[in-house]
Structure formats: C-alpha cells, structure tokens
Structure 1
Amino acid sequence: MTETANGTAGLERVLSEHSLHSLRSARTVRSTRSNRPTETQADGSPLKRQASAIEDTAAAMAAVDPGIEEEKEVGELPNGGYGWVIVACILVLNACTWGVNTTYGVFSSYFLQHNYYGGSQLDYSWVGGLSAAIAVLQGPFANWMVRRFGFKLPLYIGAVCVGLGQCMAGVATTFAGFIVCQGVVFGIGMGFILVPSQPLIAHWFDRRLSLAQGIGQAGSGVGALIFSNTTPLLLHKLGVKWTYVITGSICIVLLFPAVFLLKGRHKAVQARSAPLELKWFIHPGYRWILLWAFLTMMGYFITIYTLPSFCTNALGLSQKQGGAVQSILAAGQIVGRPFWGYLLDRGGRVNMVVVSYIIAGVTTLTIWMLGRSFGLMALYGFLAGATNGTIHSAATPLSASVVGIKHLASALAMYWLTLGLPNLVGQPFGIMLVDYSRNKLGRTGPAAYTISIGFCGGLYLAGAVLLLGAKRYLQGNWKVFKRT
C-alpha cells in the first residue's frame, strides 16, 4: 500500500512538473516568436505544429487553474511597500476633510459670541451636520463615477470642492449663502474624497489592514488638532473671511499631491464598485455592521460637538480650557485609531471594536456625566477621542471581514448611505435634548446635559451589543471569547 501511494504521489509530481514546464515553455514561445525569424522545414513551411501543441497545453492548464494566468495580478497583498505611501495620502485626505469639518465648532462658537449671522446655536449646528450628511449620502453616485471615469476624477473634483467651499464660506455675506458654501459645496467635496479613497488601503493590506487603516484615519485627529489651534488665532488676527480663505487654500495645496500619489489595485483584487446594491441592508452579517454604525455615529457627533459647550456653559470653564479639551480629544484620535487598529489585527476585528465601544459607553456614563473639573474633562476627552472614533478606522476592516475585498466598495456605499441621518441630526439632537432639559424641566448647569450625555453613552453600549450579531455570522456560534 505504501509503495503504491508513494508511486502515485511521484507520478503526480512528475505530471505537475511537466505541465508547469509546458506552461513556461508556452509563455516563452509566445514572447519570443515575434522577436526572431520564423524557423522553417526543409520545404520552406513554418514550424507551427510544435508551438501550437505547447499553446494548447498552456490553454488547458489555464482552464483547469485560472489562478496560474492571474498569478501576477491576484497574488498576496503587499502588506507594505508603496502601501505605506497610500496610508500617508489617506491621512492627508482625512486631515483636510474630517479634520477641517471638526473645527467647524470653533467657527460656530465665534459666530454665537459675535452674533455674526444672527443665528442660534441650534441653527449653526445644522450646518456642520449638513456637510457630514451630504458627504456620506454621495456614496452611490461616487461609486458610479468611479465605475465610469476611474477613482482619480472624483478625488480631484472633491479636492476642488473642499477648497472652494471653504474659500466661498469666508466671503459669504448671508447665512443662506454660508449654508450653501460650508454645508453643501464643502460637503460634496468631502464625499467625493471619502467614498473613492476609503477602500484603497484594503487593496494593499490584509494582515495589517486594521493598523494601516487606523493610521490613515488618524488624519482626522491630526487635522482637528492643527486647525482647531490655528483657527482661533486666525479669527482673532484676520477675521472670518481670511481664516476660511487660508484654510481652503491650505487644503487645496495638500490635497492635490495626495490624490496624485494615490494608486489603486482594483484589477488585482477584482474590486467592484456597484452604485446601489440594497441587498447589503438585509445581508445576514452586514446588517449588524450598519446598525452598529448608525448608533455609534450619532453618539460620536453628540460627543465632539457637545463636550466643549458642556465645559464652558455647564462647568463655567474658560473658552481656552474648552478649546484645550477639544484639542485633547483630537490627540486621543491620533493615538487611539492606530492603537485600536493594531489591537483589531491582534485580537480580532469584531472583538476589539466591541471592547472599544464598551469603554466609550462606560466612560461617558461615569467620567463625563459625573465630571465637574477641567482635569476630569481632559481625561474624558482623551478617552473619548481614543475610543468613540474607532468607527472611522474599523469600518473598512469590519466590512472586508464580512463581505470580502471584492465587494467592499459596493457594501461601503450602503454603509455611507446609512450614516446620512445620524450625521445630519446627531449634533442638533444633542443640543435639543439640552434645550429640553433647560426649558421644560428647568435644569441648569451640568444637570441640563444629563439626558444628552446618558443618551450618548447608551448609543455606544447599544452599538457594541448589536455588533455581536456580525460576530455570530462570522464564526457561526455565540462563543464570546473566540477571536473574530
């Protein structure tokens, strides 16, 4: 029996080596036939029979194992190399989009303090939500543009709109014009940059995808930290107009080289960019990702826009201290997103995201709700930035785990569509809860924020629980401590 088995295995190796040798010979013949004179027989006719036989063998082998012909295209992902350039470019894109959008809170505070447009805090909150909502609602249309024109054209259009929206917002003389520039034009630019670029890191990484994605998404914190400190200085020295113009110009200068350096591997990973596949809303695994994203994104917007006002209006801290808490939150994003990306690769993507949002929910319901000093608010700001923004760095790795890289762009289009409503109403809803506590319940000081803070913490915890549905789908059981 053993001799027979060994003989069979030896025969299979010989046949395999012969087939591969024939395939290499076929490739050699195809590549050299056009570069040398055609050999002929004695009667002058070409020697075609041998080459034809070899080509037939190669075609048969490709039919049996198509991966041989596509080896150079579909091989193992680089997990480094030029992929780190892609990560750096994505970091710049996030800094000039989400990072700049985060600093809108500095502008709205200035508008309120100086009665710039005569609007209320609630009025200004809708503008920031509008730009974020428009950005994510463009998912299907941006995917259509990628399919029709390639991924670079939407990115360049987005870079122009981001810069133009900021510059036009500075010269707007009415609140309606400001809404169009800051809310609509800038939002369109964010969307055209966000949607085509988000899947690109997954074209270069698989083993270290979460870490690479976390570093790229840390650009939001980098942009928020830089612009949230430069914006107050520029507002004080130059006013609203030139602050917006300078910010817009900086964005254009940074965005165009970053877009130019981006490279995709759409063919290599066989990526699809279907504009509108509603099946992902009912996919047995992906629907849990969408529910998790919906809840946690609303909590994210409540946190980043309500925390500074809580520090100044509820605790009586200075504007400088409130701005410092916002900067610390941005620093938490810079540290936290790569850190959680590393943990996602080590401990399982779903597992670590669940842990992240349990921490976000518990710290919101304890440190933020009970905190009454600058020190505690600074601590919470760092923890919030390090945990509640995990959604941005985890969205692509989680989606890739559930749907695969091939369908990633198509699924993410529905993911962005899902975030439209929480992006739009997250910040205004948090403010409305505070107004309700003050006007209807008669609460003042920190007590006026209790309902808003409790709602925010509940959103984080509910999102963590819902994500267990995706874990169940991936591993086929409810074992909590299994690496998934």
Structure 2
Amino acid sequence: MSDRTLYNPFNPYDPYDPYDPYSPYGPYNSYSLINPYNPYTVYGTPDSRSPAQSIFDEERRLIGGTGHSRIGSLQGNDWQNTDLGPEQRLLEKKPEEPAKDEFPDGGLRAWMVVIGSMCVTFGTFGFVNAWGVFQSYYHETILADVSPSAISWIGSIQYALVFFPGLLVGRLFDLGYFRIPQITASVVLVGGTFLTAECKEYWQFLICQGVGVGFASGFLFGPAIAVVSHWFQKRRGLAFGIIASGASIGGTVIPITVRKLIPLIGFPWAMRVIGFIELVVLGTSILTLRRRLPGRKSSGGLLNLSSFLHIPYSLYVLAAVISFLGLYTVLTYLEVYGREGVGLPVEFSIYLIPIANAASLVGRVGSGYVTDKLGPLNTLIPSTFVAGICTFIWPFARTKGALIAVSCVYGIACGTFVGMLPAPVARMGSPEDIGRRTGMLMTIAAIGALAGPPISGAILGKTDSYVSVGIYAGSMIIVCVLMLIAVKYAALKKFSVEKEQYSSRGHPPDLVEYDSSMDSARLDTRASGLRVGNVFIEDKFIILLGSCAGVFAVGINDTAMGANLPSIQEHYNLSYDVLSIVFLAGFGGYLISCVLNSVLQSVIGIRGVLLMAGFWYATGAMLIAFAPPFPVVMIGLMLMGVGGGFYDTCLTGVISHFESTKLMNIFYSFFGFGSLVSPFIVGALAKAGIKWNVFYWVPFSIAVLVTLCHLVLFKNYKIPSEDENTEHQGAYGRLKQVTRMQIIWVGIPLTILGFAINNILGNWLTLYLMEVKGSGPDVSRYQLSVYWAGLTFGRVFFSLPFINVSERAGNTLLVAALSGAIGVFWGVNSVPLNWLMVGAAGFCLGVSVQTHLV
C-alpha cells in the first residue's frame, strides 16, 4: 500500500471527502466505504466496523439512504456522469439551515413601537406611581375617618393588578390577541379615572381607582413590554429604558398636576383632566403599537411550567416577589413621612414623590444603555442593593436636603430595577414564548406588590415608627439582591436541572417503560394510567381523585361564609342589608367563571383552567386572611368565588364524561366532606379565641395543595372526543342544539332551585338558629355541620353499588321529603327535631340536585 492511500492528518482536504485521493474514504483507497472489499464497510463480508466509520455510515443511512442503485466508475472525471452513491448524495445535497429571524433593532416602525409603549407606561405605571399623593390627600380630606393602612389597600391593589393579569394577557399575546385587549383596557382605564372623580366613599375608590384602573393597567402593561421584544434584540436594553421613562414622566407630571389643580378647580375636575391626559397617551399607543411576529400556539396552555425547570428563571421570579414586598414602601409613605415625621410644609412635601419619579428617569433610561453593555443582571444587582440601602436610610433623613438626596438616589435605583425587570426574562427562552414567560413573572410578582404596602402599614400602625417600616422594607430588598446573585450564579451554569427526554434517546414519545429503580411515578400509556412502584392506577380513578380534591376546596369555602357570618357581622358592624350583599360577591365570582369556563377551556385547556382556578382561589383566601377593610373582603370572596366556580364547572364537565350518576355522587360527596369540615374548624378556632380571619389560611393552604395535585394528575388529560356532528359545530350551533333538548328546560330550573335552597340553608342557617331559635353560637355551627353531614351521607349512600333506584322516581320522592323536612324545621321549635330535620334536608337535597348534572 502506497503512502498516498494512508490517512494524512495534515491533509488540507476534508478527510471524509470521497473524492480526495488522500482520504481513507477516497475512491482509490482500499478502505473506502464504497469499496466492497473493505472489511469494515457494510458492503464487505465482515459486519464489524470501526467507530468512526459506524458513525459516518449511520449518518449516511439517515440522510442519504441505505443502499446503492449503482456505484459506477469513478476514474478520472467520469464520476460526474455516473449515478451517485448515498455518501455522494449526502455531500452534494447538504441540508439547508433554517433561516434565523432578523430583528430590525431600529428604523421608524420599531421606534414608533417604543414611543407607543412609553405612552402605555406613562398612563399605567405613571398613574400608579403617583399613588403617594392620593394616599396623603385622601387621608387628609375625603377619607379622613379611614385608617392609613386601609387607604393603602387601594394603592396596593393598584400595584398588584398591574401584574396580576400578566399570565392571561401574556398567553393571549403569544396566541396573537393584541389589539382587542389593548383597546378594551384603554377604555376601562380612562373610564375608571373619570369615575374616580365622582367617588365619595371608601369602597367606591377601591373599585374605581384600585380595581378598575389597576386591572386595565395590567392588561395594557404586559403586552406593551412584550411587543418591543419583537423589534429589538441587540438594543433591547436601551428600548426598555426608554419605555420605562414613560413611567417616570407620568409619575412626575400626574402628582404635580393633581396637587396644583385641586385648589384651583377641585378634586373632581382635577381627575377629569387626568382622564383626558390618559385618553391622549393611550390613544397614541393604539395608533403606534404593532406586533411584528404572528401569533403562535405553543404547547403548555396558559402556563409554560417547563420554564420553571430552568433554575435561573425560577430564582428570578422568586426574587421579584420578594423585592415587591419592600420596594414601593418608600414611594407610598414618602410624602406622609416628610409632612408628619419630619414636619416639612405641605407645599414642599408634595414634591418629594415627583422628585423621586423624576430621578427614576435617569435610572430607567441610563440602565438601558448600561444593560446593553454589561448585561441585565450586572445592572440589576448593584442598583437593587442601592435601593435597599436607601430604604434603610430613609427614616433617618430628618432635614429637607437629606430627604431630597434620599429621594433622588432611591428614584434612580428603583427606576433601574423596574425598568430592567423584564429584560432577563426576554433572554431566558424563545421570542415566540416571551409573552407567557413575562406573564408568569408579572402574575406571581403581584403577590409581593399586593402584600407589601399593607404589611408596611400594619407595622406602622403597631409601632408608630417609620424606622421599623424602613428596616422591614430594606431587609426584603437586600434578600432580593441575594436572590439575584443566585440567579447570576445559576445562569453561569454552576448548577442546573436537566429534564430527561425519552424521545431524544430513541423511545417513542407516547411510551415510557417503567423502571423499578426509579422513585418517581411515570405514565404508561399502554395501560392508560399511572404506575407508582408496583401499583397501577387507572385513568378514571386518577381523574376522579383530582376532581374530588378540587370540589373539596369548593365545599370548604361554601360553608365557611355561613359559619363565619356572625363574626364578620360583629367585626365590621354590618347591617343585615349589607350582610346579604356578602353572598353576592361569591355568587358574582361564581357566575363569571361559569360564563368564561367554556371559552377558556378552548384556549388554555382543562389543566390551565384548573391551575388558574387555584390561583384565584388562593389569592382571595390570602386577602381575607389579613382581615382587610370590608370592601377588600368582598373582593377576596369574589376571587374565591371565581376559583370555586371554575373548579365546580370544569370538574363537573370532566366527571360528566364518564356518564355515571354514581361517580357524580362520589364526586359531590367530597364537596359535602369539605362543607362538613369547615364549620368544625371555624367553631374550634372561635372557641380557642382565635380571630375569624385566621381560618382563611386553611383554604389558602388547601388551594396550594390542590393546585399541585392538578398540576400532576391532569398533565396528560384530554377532553374525550365528541361525535362528528357536534365536533365541528360553532358556539351558536351547539347552543341551538342544546335549546331543543327537553331535559335542559326541566333540569335547569330544578338545578337553580336546588342550589338556591342549598345556599340559603348553608349560609343563613347558623345566623337563623342564633337569632330566631335562640341557639348558642357553637350549637348553631354544629347543626350546620349536621346539615352538610346529611348531604354528604346522601351522596355516598346513593353511590353504593347495591343501591339501584330509578332517577325519576327517586328524585320525586327526595323532593317531597325535602319539602316536608324544611316545613317541619321552619314550623316546629324543637331542638331534637331541628337536628333531625336539618340532617334530613341535607340528605334529600344532596342527591336530587347533582343527578340533574349527569
């Protein structure tokens, strides 16, 4: 063998080039892969190959084919006129790389988008950042009889709702919905501002300025930030900085405008002027904001939970929550502290918040340029640390000059943090999914924004010291700095989490073999169920278990209101007229969820609806657990009603697909179990002298557990396919078909009547027994438990396999027995009969209502 046939590592040709005479794969080489006498080739006699040749041969098989039609002669230049083998086809037809998306990073259209987004931040965050002026004015004049902590709930809800809708609007943005939410939210924000001018009572301000302006701001802010990422990549930091400057300008202009106009034209017209300003800036944003990339349906529904497998993203979200527990404390109490804590004149103290917001302009714009040079985390960490130090120092600033200096430095640092908050998230995944990632960040961060100012207000009320408030808020910000350092450490891949992908290793995507050495449960789609160790659980039981967990949480909430009603009436000194409205809050939330359930299921799926239900349910419970002002309690009850309604309607639909009355009874028996447990817990807490609001940490904890349960159990759940006739019908077609069914016209009135009776007994029974029949609080709560125990027992009893009763005959008898039991309970004042008839009413009502739902 000549030296020419040996592989030369210094050969300038590609060593795998079949036309290079010096290559081991060349046509003149006796070890060429196309040489049938090469002992290592698949075309030779032996079947063994070297590792390098095996890899090349496998690549040839996958891309170029597995056999030759004709090798032909490759002497001289004759190869150009011959049929090529697979390796020649491989080299001649290289796969084209997909074209990478080019970001404009400039141009008129891109900068118009930046201007539009800046107008949005002016009208949303600029308005919200001016809350300190309203806090001071309301405390002095319109709401002088309301505590500062209660007033701060208006601003806290505003702050929180800027972030809360982020999850939903982020998902809608990814799907391509942008213009309609933008226009609708703009109308609501302008309308809420005009309505604030007409407010006289605390609850009116809470609804119009807190909920209305806050919610609309949330629907505007998230998409306005996300759409900029469609247009900028290299200069994204600068774009974000310019956008964030709108919040600084708005936070400077709006409070000065309000304070100057109130003495001249009064508060109502001052707010109307602000409304017209909002109309101009939001109208400009509608004309200039445009998305560049089309909507794209990415997997995962409302949540992209795989993002949380990325350690930097998870830590960053946690850092954002912690930061907002203390970040807005200075901005909320700066003017009040200057006037009351230091004794500055009102004419000067009103400018402290505009000074801080104006200084934040430097941080917002300058941080954008610095971020493009150093990176977002390298900019956020030192600026957040400075904000924490300023928060510590703020209560010790006792002079006019010291307060101005602290306000300026704090404004620059805070502006940097808020302006650059979305920037790291934009780099933690693909641009097509940025709306959902940003939405998850904003929604979860809202927890900190909601709880931060009221916690600071509660500390101020207990200690009457701004020093304690500064220590608390500053500590939260420093903890956030430590979390940001951990994010940077994780981003540098000092530690990571890897998710095992079976399909990439040759396993079919729908088949995972069970390995007994693994501790975690895995799905085995061949048997359609869940395997845990050596125990196999069928899908039907899994879905039933997850559904029962959700309806158990609904039951906990439904009876808690009735059991806590006397305590709530006493705590807030409510009349019966106002007390009756309490039930409308939960019912209103329930009604909203019933209307939206079907639409949301089609957009985010069953699992997405259930996770969203848990979020709203837990948020409402947490709000009530702090015993806030009564209007906030109403909002909490409405949110719990929204979550409970989604649980009820969504899970009822899931169980109804099994077409089994017995399973439906088992399902709703867990509603009864939750309803049975709740009065006992309330009674035990009351007997121990624990305040009524502490109970709501119980449903909050249950909601968290149920959400985790649904996260796992409904991971692979799909709605059973419908028949061909109804599958492609639109909403109108289905409605038309439903209205022709006689059972609908019979079942709906009976179901409504049953729920009405159930709500009356479940909510008013305790108070009725105390006020009318003279029972003690503990005995009344226990009788309420007897009612729910009867309801639960009835559902369990009729789900037993040996109980077979005709539904029509059974319902007729149950309705008759129910009427008799209620009549005896109402007309006869006997303690033993009260216990007996209450239990009998629950037994009859529990089954007769739910059978209409199957």
Alpha-carbon spacing, 1:199–1:222, altered in 2? closer, same or farther (3 Å): same
| Pairwise CA distance, 1:144 | 4.3
2:488 alignment partner, SS class = helix
Report the Cα distance in structure 2 between the residues aligned to 1:410 and 1:87, rounded to whole angstroms. 20
- Please give the TM-score of this superposition, normalised by the length of structure 2: 0.46
Q: Which residue of 2 aligns with 1:28?
A: none
Residue 237 of structure 1 aligns to a residue whose secondary structure is helix
From 219, 231, 248, the counterpart of 1:204 = 231
Query: Is 1:217 equivalent to 2:248 in the alignment?
Result: no
Q: What are the within-5 Å matches in structure 2 for residues 307-318 of structure 1?
A: 307-318=334-345
CA distance 1:7–1:116, change in 2 (3 Å): closer
1:165 lines up with 2:196 in the alignment: no
Match of 2:452 in 1: 426
Structure 2: stretches of 5+ with no match in the other structure: 1-7, 21-90, 496-854
**Rounded Cα–Cα distance in structure 1 between residues aligned with 2:325 and 2:347:** 26
SS of the residue 2:13 aligns to: helix
Instruction: Classify the secondary structure of the residue corresponding to 2:432.
Output: coil
**Aligned in 2, Cα 1:313/1:64: closer, same or farther, shift over 3 Å?**
same
Counting only pairs closer than 5 Å after superposition, residues 433-472 of structure 1 correspond to structure 2 as: 433-438=459-464, 448-472=465-489
* 8 A Cα contact 2:316 2:484, kept in partner: yes
Q: 1:326 to 1:467 in 2, by over 3 A?
A: same
Counterparts in 2 of 1:464 and 1:404: CA distance versus 1, 3 Å = farther
AA paired with 1:453? G
Listed as ranges, the matches of 1:372-391 within 5 Å are 372-391=398-417
Q: Which moved more, 1:91-100 or 1:274-283?
A: 274-283
Question: Which of 112, 117, 120 does residue 85 from structure 1 map onto?
Answer: 112
> Are 2:167 and 2:439, in contact at CA under 8 Å, matched by a contact in 1?
yes
**Identity among equivalent pairs (%):** 22
**Would the alpha carbon gap of residues 63 and 434 (structure 1) be closer, same or farther in structure 2, given more than 3 Å must change?**
farther
Partner residue in 1 for 2:13: 5
- Report the alpha carbon displacement of residue 160 of structure 1 after superposing the two structures with TM: 0.6
Give the 4+ runs in structure 1 shifted more than 4 A.
1-4, 6-9, 60-63, 268-274
* CA-CA distance at 1:305 after TM superposition: 0.4
Equivalent-residue separation in structure 1 for 2:300 and 2:362 (angstroms)? 32
Q: Does 1:320 align with 2:351?
A: no
Q: Which amino acid in the other structure matches residue 419 of structure 1?
A: A
Which has the higher Rg, Structure 1 or Structure 2? 2
In structure 2, distance between residues paired with 1:477 and 1:148: 35
Is the CA contact 1:297–1:391 (under 8 Å) kept in the aligned structure 2? no
> What's the CA shift for 1:104?
2.6
- 1:125-164 → structure 2 map (5 Å cutoff): 125-146=152-173, 150-164=177-191
Partner of 1:238: 265
Match of 2:441 in 1: 415
Q: What is the distance in 1 between the residues matched to 2:144 and 2:192? A: 18
The amino acid across from 2:452 in the alignment is G
Q: 5 Å matches for 1:201-350? A: 201-267=228-294, 275-281=302-308, 283-350=310-377
Give the secondary structure class of the aligned counterpart of 1:407: helix
- Does residue 473 in structure 1 map to residue 490 in structure 2? yes
Question: What TM-score does the superposition give when structure 1 sets the normalisation length?
Answer: 0.79
Contact 2:175 2:296 in 1 (8 A): no
Alignment of 1:19-168 (within 5 A): 64-65=95-96, 67=98, 71=99, 74-81=100-107, 82-116=109-143, 118-146=145-173, 150-168=177-195
Shift of 1:414: 1.1
State the secondary structure of the residue aligned to 1:218: helix
Whether the 8 Å CA contact 2:143–2:201 is kept in 1: the answer is no
- Cα 1:174–1:385 change in 2 (3 A) is same
Query: Following TM superposition, by how much is the alpha carbon of 1:65 offset from its aligned partner in structure 2, in angstroms?
Result: 2.4
In the alignment, the residues of structure 1 paired with residue 353 and residue 229 of structure 2 have an alpha-carbon distance, to the nearest angstrom, of 31
C-alpha distance after superposition, 1:364-387 (max 9, x if no partner) = 323x24321111111111111111
Name the aligned partner's letter for residue 494 of structure 2.
Answer: N
Instruction: Judge conservation of contact 1:293–1:391 (CA < 8 Å) in 2.
Output: no
Whole-angstrom CA distance in 2 between matches of 1:63 and 1:400: 33
Q: Which has the higher contact order (CA 8 A, sep 6+)?
A: 1
Q: Distance in 1 between matches of 2:425 and 2:440?
A: 11
The CA RMSD measured in Å over matched residues stands at: 2.8
| Partner Cα separation in structure 2 for residue 458 and residue 360 of structure 1 | 11
8 Å CA contact 2:104–2:231 kept in 1: the answer is: yes
The number of residue pairs the alignment matches comes to: 416
| Rounded Cα–Cα distance in structure 2 between residues aligned with 1:145 and 1:183 | 24
Q: CA deviation at 1:188?
A: 1.8
- Taking the aligned partners of 2:351 and 2:16, their CA distance within structure 1 comes to 73
Aligned to 1:365: 392
- Partner letter of residue 479 of structure 2? A
Deviation at 1:308, TM superposition (A): 1.7
Per-residue deviation, 1:107: 2.2
Q: Which moved more, 1:179-188 or 1:264-273?
A: 264-273
Distance 1:62 1:161, change over 3 A: farther
